[in-house]
Chain A
Amino acid sequence: MAIFKQNAPHLRRNASVTRMMVDVLVALAPTLIFSFIIYPIKTLIFYLISVVIMEAAEFIYVGLKGIMPNDGQKHSFKERFNYAYKGKYNQNNILTAAITAIIYTLIMPAGAPIYAVIIGALVGIVLGKLVFGGLGSNIFNPAAVGMLFAKVCFGSQYAKNVPTWYYTVADVTTAPTALSNSAGTLNGLIENFNNANFLDMFIGRMYGTLGEVYTVTILVGAIYLLIRRSADFRVMLPYLGAFALFSLVAGLGFYAVDGTTNPGAFTLFSLLSGGVMFGGVFMLTDPVTSPINSPSRIIYALVAAVSTVFIRLFTAYPEGVGFSILIANMVAVVLDHYEWSSPRYTWKKFLTMGLLIIIPAAIIFLVIKFGGVYHA
Chain B
Amino acid sequence: MVCNSLQKYYNETMIAKTTHINDTKNLVGSLPAVRYTEPQYLYIAMANARCPNAELFIKEGDHVNSCQVIGMRHAAFFDQPIHATCSGTFVGLEKHYHRNGKLTDFIKIENDFKDTLDPSVKQRTPEEIAALTKDDMTEIIKNCALVGLGGSSFPTYIKFQTNKPIDIILINGIECEPYITADHRLMLEFPRRVIDGIKYAMQAFKCNKAKICIKSKYKDIKQVYEQVLKEYENSGIEICCVKNYYPQGWEVAMIKEATGIQLKPGELPSNRGIMNFNVSTMVGLYKAIKYNMPVIKRFITITGDGIKNPMNFRVRVGTSVRDLLSQYCGGYINPDKDKVFIIGGPMMGNSVPSDDIIITKTVTSIIILDKEDYVEQPCVRCGSCVLSCPVHLEPVQIMNAVKSLDKERIKMLNPLRCIECGLCAYSCTSKIHVTDYIRRAKVFAKL
Contact = CB atoms under 8 A, between A and B. Distances in A.
Given A14-B22, A229-B16, A5 B387 contact: no
B262 to A, nearest CB: 13
A231 B433 contact: no
A192 interface: no
B380 A287 contact: yes
B11 A13 contact: yes
A343 B385 CA distance: 11
Nearest to A7: B436
A4 B340 CA distance: 5
Given A15-B13, A343-B394, A3 B353 contact: yes
B431 A12 contact: yes
Given A229-B15, A231-B15, A7 B435 contact: yes
A294 B377 contact: no
B409 interface: yes
B29 interface: no
Classify chain A: how many residues form its interface, as a range: 35 or more
A9 B377 contact: no
A31 to B, nearest CB: 20
A19 interface: yes
A4 B389 contact: no
B389 A288 contact: no
Given A10-B349, A17-B429, A20-B380, 7 more contacts: A4-B351, A10-B340, A12-B425, A90-B375, A288-B380, A292-B381, A292-B386
Contacts of A13: 11-12, 18, 426-429
A230 B397 contact: no
A341 B381 CA distance: 14
Interface residues of B, number: 71
Contacts of A87: 375
Interface stretch (B117-125, B272-280, B329-337): B329-337
A303 B341 CA distance: 50
A232 interface: yes
A11 B178 contact: yes
Contacts of A20: 14, 380, 382, 429
A281 B63 CA distance: 76
Given A11-B22, A229-B15, A5 B332 contact: no
A230 B14 contact: yes
Contacts of A366: none
A258 B426 CA distance: 58
Interface in B322-345: 332, 335-342
A307 interface: no
A246 to B, nearest CB: 26
A294 B389 CA distance: 13
Contacts of B36: none
Contacts of A344: 392
B3 interface: no
A156 interface: no
Interface of A is mostly: loop
19 contacts: A3-B354, A4-B340, A5-B340, A8-B420, A9-B422, A10-B342, A10-B346, A10-B351, A11-B178, A11-B369, A13-B11, A13-B18, A13-B427, A19-B14, A20-B14, A20-B429, A341-B394, A342-B394, A343-B386
A339 interface: yes
A336 interface: yes
A339 B178 CA distance: 36
Contacts of A19: 14
Contacts of A17: 377, 380, 382, 429-430
A338 interface: yes
Interface string A9-36: 1111111110110010000000000000
Interface stretch (A44-52, A118-126, A133-141, A181-189): A133-141
Contacts of A15: 12-14, 384, 427, 429
B130 interface: no
Most B CB contacts (10 A, CB to CB) among A1, A20, A135 go to A1
Given A1-B335, A8-B349, A294 B383 contact: yes
B79 interface: no
B405 interface: no
Kindly list the 3 A-B residue pairs having the minimum CB-CB distance in the complex, ordered from nearest.
Answer: A9-B422, A229-B13, A136-B378
Contact of B369 (A10, A228, A293, A343): A10
B413 A5 contact: no
A87 B375 CA distance: 9
B2 to A, nearest CB: 16
A290 B422 CA distance: 24
Interface in B1-42: 10-16, 18, 21-22
A144 to B, nearest CB: 17
A135 B178 CA distance: 33
Interface in B263-315: none
Contacts, number: 171
Most A CB contacts (10 A, CB to CB) among B338, B349, B381 go to B381
A2 interface: yes
A92 interface: yes
A6 interface: yes
A8 B13 contact: no
B13 A343 contact: no
B338 A9 contact: no
B371 interface: yes
B353 A136 contact: no
B392 to A, nearest CB: 5
Most A CB contacts (10 A, CB to CB) among B350, B377, B420 go to B377
A7 B381 contact: no
Interface string A260-297: 00000000000000000000000000011010111001
Interface in A98-157: 134-137
A294 B401 CA distance: 20
B409 A338 contact: yes
A91 to B, nearest CB: 10
A136 B377 CA distance: 9
A338 B415 CA distance: 12
A11 B346 contact: yes
B196 interface: no
Contacts of B332: 1
Interface in B169-209: 178
B379 interface: yes
A338 B335 CA distance: 47
B243 interface: no
B341 A232 contact: no
Contacts of A2: 338-339
A229 B380 contact: no
A232 B439 CA distance: 28
Contact of B340 (A6, A14, A136): A6
A2 B371 CA distance: 9
B351 A8 contact: yes
A231 B383 CA distance: 11
B77 to A, nearest CB: 28
A23 B13 CA distance: 11
Interface string A333-375: 0001011011110000000000000000000000000000000
B99 to A, nearest CB: 13
